[in-house]
Amino acid sequence: MDNESNLIQRLRSPKYKDAAFSELLDLYQERLYWHIRKLVGTHENADDVLQNTFVRVYRGIENFKEKSSLHTWMFRIAYNESMRFLEKEKKRSYASIEDIEMGRFEQLKDSAYFDGDALQLKLQSIIHQLTEKQRQVFQMKYFDDLSFRQISEILEVTESTLKSAYYTAVKIIEEKIVT
């Protein structure tokens, strides 16, 4: 039995669930945090969404059908929680999604947790100019190091569509980064 299957089995066992969940947090908390952070912008919002994500994972592990890896399943939950959060923000602030995106970029620049240099800031600026789909795919592929298959499962989009969006984003970034 591989490590992931063993972890899933322990997560489903009332006797071992809490210890297994603590192990799951150690394994995935940081990666999921940064995945969420890129989507929602601020540290505080990312912490809230991350907490909601792990609550859903804890409560939903019994329903995990193992059609994908545990990692991909949790990224899907994190992505969905991030999108729920952004929808609530949009409704609450009556702003367009583009305004929210620009606001998130401005928050990133001003964040004490952002220590990027001028080139990194320029890259982030270019990424925020991409379409939502291009930005999501690029960030998941480039920063989260997910495969096109994993991204396809998370976003529920064909791999060919994702590849097209990714390579278009890469071309745009390459053109703008040198100017």
What is the tens place of the pLDDT at every residue in 1-44?
478 899 999 999 999 999 999 999 999 999 999 999 988 888 89
104 plus 126 within the same structural domain: no
14 plus 99 within the same structural domain: yes
Cα separation values, 127 from 28, 74, 118, 137, 166, Å: 25, 24, 14, 11, 11
Q: What does the alpha-carbon distance between residue 42 and residue 105 come to, in Å, rounded to a whole number?
A: 9
Orientation of helix 118-127 relative to helix 97-110, angle to 10°: 170
Orientation of helix 43-60 relative to helix 70-93, angle to 10°: 130
103 plus 176 within the same structural domain: no
19 plus 93 within the same structural domain: yes
Structural domains in the chain (count) = 2
Residue that the structure tokens 């066992």 belong to: 13
43 plus 31 within the same structural domain: yes
What is the tens place of the pLDDT at every residue in 54-111?
999 999 999 999 888 999 999 999 999 999 998 888 776 655 555 555 555 555 555 5
